Chain A
Amino acid sequence: MSDRKDIELIAELVPPGARVLDLGCGRGELLALLRDRRGCSGYGIEIDDANVLACEQRGVNVIQLNLEEGLALFEDQSFDVVLQLDTLQHLRNTETMLRETARIGRTGIVSFPNFAHWPNRLHVAAGRMPVTRVLPYQWYDTPNIRVGTYADFEVLARKDGLHILDSFGIQEGRVVRRWPNLLASVAVFKFERS
């Protein structure tokens, strides 16, 4: 993911002037966009050296941390929006991180590859794990250690007491609101603690 168009679609979910925390901020594109176009401020968390450097070169506030070590650094409800784009599926403690997102942010936004997108279903129906543009890895070398679907996330959100404010799929840079679990390769959820 992390396509420019996807990032712009997700940026529209963030209120202008919001204080944001971007978990797994990559090279800082989203933070720079939110800063330049929507007047937002905040920080990105990133583990990778090259990405941290890219953020520093962009003039984006970046904190080099391993998300798996937790987010004790951040106080409850200290950010307007906590984003977790294309990050969830790389984390061992997905559920903990989701709860942390809801603890730190007044609203949370997550995006992740939707495993139930129809081409993936065809791959599995044919007896093979899917290899697509959004899921480009072989089963044995994928960094996506948590593969879930749009529908799965709705169940997890309910279980963890998260109130979904908005949700949609993204396919080829377009918002998909009709049958997103089937028709979108990327799932996006905006939620708050209920």
Chain B
Amino acid sequence: MFATDMSPSAASPPRSAHALDDVQPKSMHFGEPLPLTSGSRLADYALVYETYGTLAPDRSNAVLVCHALNAGHHAAGTYGGDPTTQGWWDNLIGPGKPLDTERFFVISINNPGSCFGSTGPMHPNPDPAAHGRRYGADFPVVTVEDWVDAQARLIDALGITQLAAVIGGSLGGMQALSWALRYPTRLRHCIAVATAPNLSAQNIAFNEVARRAIITDPDFHGGHFYEHDVVPRRGLRVARMIGHITYLSDDAMETKFGRYTQEAALGYSTQNIEFRIEGYLRHQGDKFSEYFDANTYLLITRALDYFDPARAHGGDLTATFATACCRFLLVSFTTDWRFAPARSREIVKALVDNRLDLGYAEIAAPHGHDAFLLDDPRYHAVLRARFNAIAREGTAGALGLARPLAIVPATAAVGVAETSADGFGAPATDRARSPADLRRTPSADPAATELDSPVSRT
């Protein structure tokens, strides 16, 4: 059925000279403060990022990958060939894969506020009044729009005027949409997977429960737990357990766990693990609390809650997209109840109303929201077809744009110094930024269960 796109070489890409088995995270420092949606600003910050593939001489083949809630810059490949360090979207990005690094120059940036190396709440607050204290709860609230602005500055610094595509799933999809709205002529294609034009009340409710679990953990200390040398693990665990429930479909959970029990005989305990689903959730919670930062969790779930580009247009999504001019590809999954197909269809309607070019695929995958990280052949075939088309059109797509290229904001590339992670000049107190820590991003665990592997959701 997908013969044209499922050639044997696509299914198992040949080892290439460009195999992503020695990915090097880099860091870029920005001296010019980043103005934020809240009215605040982020002074003196660094972004950690990775690139895969080679930038074409005309700089036309760059694709930006936007990460979701608990992922970072390490989207593809491994560190030194170690399979346990595989990137979170490695099934999509690489030589011969749908987003083919033999043809595209792929950029993956860790957003500010995150806990994987870019400036975040665990880093020292440069405000003199903070006396070298870490940001903690004082890290400014960042929005999807702020992230996109930060990404745009890094793209500027790489000398890229127009991206061939911006792609993301879930919260990453929101960033891709935001690119199409904020920098309409700086991308040719917007690929938004399993996303929504804003969060529903139910979605905000899940986020709020997760946040309360963290904030009410006695080890949270109002967000300044670093100084107490503790981590609000209990809160993080519960937050992650709630998240996991919403990332799976009812059917997927039933198939995987059903009512299976840990032991053959029931223990009649209210506190011990009795059912396998409990063991799974606790395991996920434990793992997450080992590597994720509590303040980052609060910031990122808030960015999700705040995303609502139509708000500035009286809730009119059609009016919101009136200035967009790139081509779109939207994908949703039928069993995804957290970012349901109906939400993607709202975006489709706004794009149709504005007569924008678009493809929309609704994949009947059983996995719920997790599906966007898995390699369902129908899903990946559609992405592969789009990236093939993007490669074919080359810069011809750019010529077709209705509007002239945006002028790079004057503030953009000021104070930029690109260094490799190894040469990263972080303050000595800034322990989280050592090269080893830049590689500390979660990765697919080969020993994990099938449902265990997706690491970057919402």
Residues of chain A having any CB pair with chain B under 8 Å: 19, 41, 43, 49-50, 52-53, 55-57, 59, 61-65, 73-75, 78
Q: Contacting chain A: which of B34-42, B306-314, B377-385, B450-458?
A: B377-385
Residue of A nearest to B2 (CB): A53
Q: Given contact pairs A41-B355, A53-B2, A56-B389, enumerate 15 new A-B contacts (beta carbons under 8 Å).
A: A43-B352, A49-B363, A52-B382, A53-B378, A56-B329, A56-B382, A62-B359, A63-B358, A63-B359, A64-B361, A64-B362, A65-B345, A65-B360, A65-B362, A73-B352
Q: Are A73 and B359 in contact (CB under 8 A)?
A: no
Q: Are B348 and A59 in contact (CB under 8 A)?
A: no
The CA-CA distance from A17 to B329 in the complex, in Å, is 24
Residue of A nearest to B318 (CB): A75
Contacts of B358 in A (CB 8 A): 43, 61, 63
Q: Are B4 and A57 in contact (CB under 8 A)?
A: yes
Q: Are A73 and B348 in contact (CB under 8 A)?
A: yes
CB distance from A43 to the nearest CB of B (A): 7
Name the contact of B385 in the complex, choosing from A19, A56, A63, A74 (C-beta under 8 A). Answer: A56
The CA-CA distance from A114 to B364 in the complex, in Å, is 34
Residues of chain B having any CB pair with chain A under 8 Å: 1-2, 4-5, 329, 345, 348-349, 352-353, 355, 357-364, 378, 381-382, 385-386, 388-389
Residue of B nearest to A55 (CB): B359
22 A-B interface contacts by CB (under 8 A) = A43-B352, A49-B1, A49-B378, A50-B1, A52-B361, A52-B382, A53-B378, A56-B329, A56-B359, A56-B382, A56-B386, A57-B4, A57-B5, A57-B385, A57-B388, A57-B389, A61-B358, A63-B348, A63-B358, A63-B359, A64-B362, A73-B349
Contacts of A49 in B (CB 8 A): 1, 361, 363-364, 378
A-B complex: 6 closest residue pairs judged by Cβ atoms: A56-B385, A64-B362, A63-B360, A57-B385, A50-B1, A73-B349
Contacts of B360 in A (CB 8 A): 62-65
Residue of B nearest to A62 (CB): B359
Residue of B nearest to A43 (CB): B352
CB distance from A36 to the nearest CB of B (A): 15
Contacts of B361 in A (CB 8 A): 49, 52-53, 56, 64
The CA-CA distance from A86 to B373 in the complex, in Å, is 37
CB distance from B312 to the nearest CB of A (A): 22
Residue of A nearest to B3 (CB): A50
Contacts of A65 in B (CB 8 A): 345, 360, 362
CB distance from B201 to the nearest CB of A (A): 22
CB distance from B317 to the nearest CB of A (A): 12
The CA-CA distance from A74 to B351 in the complex, in Å, is 11
The CA-CA distance from A57 to B363 in the complex, in Å, is 16
Contacts of B378 in A (CB 8 A): 49, 53
| Residue picked from A57, A61, A64, most chain B C-beta under 10 Å | A64
The CA-CA distance from A64 to B279 in the complex, in Å, is 38
CB distance from A21 to the nearest CB of B (A): 9
Q: Are B381 and A73 in contact (CB under 8 A)?
A: no
CB distance from A165 to the nearest CB of B (A): 25
Contacts of A57 in B (CB 8 A): 4-5, 385, 388-389
The CA-CA distance from A114 to B313 in the complex, in Å, is 49
CB distance from A67 to the nearest CB of B (A): 13
CB distance from A157 to the nearest CB of B (A): 27
Contacts of B389 in A (CB 8 A): 56-57, 59
Contacts of A55 in B (CB 8 A): 359
Contacts of A43 in B (CB 8 A): 352, 358
Contacts of A73 in B (CB 8 A): 345, 348-349, 352
The CA-CA distance from A41 to B356 in the complex, in Å, is 10
